[in-house]
Structure formats: C-alpha cells, structure tokens
C-alpha cells in the first residue's frame, strides 16, 4: 500500500477451492486495512448469491463485513439475465455512474427489465426458491428428480441410474447433489449435442446419462422426442 494505491480488491474463488494447509485474510480484516489507508475495498463475488447457499458468500454478508463495493453477476446463482451488478457506498456508485465508460457498458432496457423482474422475486425468499430455476434445482428433493428420470426412461426405453450432480457454472465448485439420470446408449452423445435444441449428457461407463435434476417437468417429453429422433 502506497500513495499510488487507489483500491483494495478481493476476488472470491467462485469456481475453485484451495484445499489443505492454506490461509487467507477475512473480508473484515481486509476492510480494516482499507480503512487504515483510506482506500475503498471492492469485493468481487463472481456468482452473486442473495440467499444463503452454505459454501457461497452472500452480497449482504460482504457489505456487512465492511466492503465498500460489491460486484457480482446477474445470471449464475442470481438467476437473472447476463449482467454485471455493483452495489455499495452511494458516493462510489455515483462516481462510477458518471464515468464515461458507464455509457458504453451499461445494460439495455430489456436487460434491466429482466433483472428487475428477477430481483422482485427475492423480496420473498420462499418465492425465489420456488421460481428462480437455479435455486429450484439446487433445493429440489431427490424424489421429484427420480420421477422425471423414470418418466424419461419409460419414454425412451432407458434405465434409471442414481448419480451425483455438480453445480458448476462458476459457483459452488465442491457442491455435490444426489440425483437421478436416464441412462441410454453412449452413441447418442454426439447426435444429441447437435440436435436442435441440444441435449447435453454425461458419458460414463459406456452409457450416456441424462441427469434429470436440470430438467423441468414440461421438458421431459421434448427430451424424449430428441432421443428417439437421434436413434
């Protein structure tokens, strides 16, 4: 830290973890350093969780710990349109808004409308868990997933297989969710990827697993039709 230091930045390990004999300062400790040197602290959360998802820090938690600015994605864990969001001290947000680059980088009206609609769901956390697809998939119990896997397997002559789903997409890299898949022949992997719309599965032990945790109830028939078309 010297006279040329304008900002202190912490970047959250949103898509990886260091495991073992490692140590890192807490956000509160970094905030104390920033205050001591009179520079802002920016916390880049990446995926942007607004609800407690155990292994991911929340935007509210970062602000409470002393971050002056927090940036995160509008998609990923938030579940809205692809966008970048900044929250924090009003004076710093105003400086960013008045910067010439803001005009080039700001979201368009359609993106803002979609983001507003998503954020309104979070006013009622229970509603957000029901209606934001990524949150719904993260919290759904195994029984519902198994029912979809059984429906799909019956429709295409596949087999139900117990599996593990991983979140991915730049968030919760260590999270594993019990899941169920419809197992079909491995040779379908490539043609299903090229299908319109594409159907992406996991090749394992000579079979293609179509994990049904990320499949909505009203999409089962569409996936079944794609499998039949690719055979």
CATH number of the domain at 86, please: 3.40.640.10
pTM of the model: 0.85
What residue ranges in the chain does DSSP mark as E strands? 8-11, 41-46, 69-73, 84-88, 159-166, 176-185, 202-204, 207-211
**In the structure encoding, which two tokens stand for residue 146, read together?**
């198994």
Q: Are residues 154 and 216 in the same domain?
A: yes
Asked whether residue 42 is domain-assigned, the answer is yes
pLDDT tens-digit profile, the chain (231 residues): 898 999 999 999 888 888 889 888 999 999 999 999 999 999 999 988 999 988 889 999 999 999 999 999 999 999 999 999 999 999 999 999 999 999 999 999 999 999 999 999 999 999 999 999 999 999 999 999 999 999 999 999 999 999 999 887 778 877 889 999 999 999 999 999 999 999 999 999 999 999 999 999 999 999 999 999 999
**Of 87, 107, 135, the domain-final residue:** 135
Q: Are residues 25 and 121 in the same domain?
A: yes
**Of 135, 166, 186, the domain-final residue:** 135
Asked whether residue 1 is domain-assigned, the answer is no
Distance from C-alpha of 56 to C-alpha of 91, rounded to nearest angstrom: 27
Asked whether residue 2 is domain-assigned, the answer is no
Q: Are residues 23 and 128 in the same domain?
A: yes
CATH number at residue 146: 3.90.1150.180
**In the structure encoding, which two tokens stand for residue 26, read together?**
């807490």
Q: Could you tell me the residue range of the domain that residue 24 belongs to? A: 8-135
Q: Are residues 14 and 123 in the same domain?
A: yes
Asked whether residue 3 is domain-assigned, the answer is no
Domain count within the chain: 2
Distance from C-alpha of 39 to C-alpha of 20, rounded to nearest angstrom: 32
**Of 106, 135, 164, the domain-final residue:** 135
Asked whether residue 179 is domain-assigned, the answer is yes
Distance from C-alpha of 206 to C-alpha of 141, rounded to nearest angstrom: 28
Q: Are residues 64 and 95 in the same domain?
A: yes
- Tell me what the pLDDT averaged over the chain comes to: 94
Q: Are residues 21 and 95 in the same domain?
A: yes
Q: Are residues 144 and 202 in the same domain?
A: yes
């Amino acid at each position: 830290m010297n006279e040329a230091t304008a900002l202190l930045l912490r970047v959250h390990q949103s898509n990886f973890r260091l495991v073992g004999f490692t140590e890192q300062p807490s956000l509160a400790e970094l905030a104390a350093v920033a205050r001591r040197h009179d520079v802002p602290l920016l916390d880049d959360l990446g995926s942007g969780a607004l609800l407690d998802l155990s292994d991911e820090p929340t935007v509210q938690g970062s602000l409470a710990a002393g971050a002056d600015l927090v940036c995160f994605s509008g998609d990923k864990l938030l579940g809205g349109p692809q966008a970048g969001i900044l929250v924090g001290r009003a004076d710093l947000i105003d400086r960013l808004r008045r910067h010439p680059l803001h005009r080039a980088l700001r979201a368009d009206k359609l993106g803002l409308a979609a983001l507003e609609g998503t954020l309104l769901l979070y006013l009622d956390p229970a509603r957000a868990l029901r209606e934001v697809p990524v949150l719904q998939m993260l919290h759904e119990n195994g029984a519902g997933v198994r029912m979809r896997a059984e429906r799909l397997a019956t429709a295409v002559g596949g087999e139900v297989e117990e599996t593990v789903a991983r979140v991915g997409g730049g968030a919760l890299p260590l999270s594993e969710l019990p899941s169920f898949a419809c197992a079909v022949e491995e040779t379908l992997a490539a043609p299903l990827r090229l299908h319109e719309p594409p159907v992406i599965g996991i090749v394992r032990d000579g079979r293609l697993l179509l994990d049904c945790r990320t499949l909505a109830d009203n999409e089962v028939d569409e996936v079944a039709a794609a499998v039949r078309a690719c055979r």
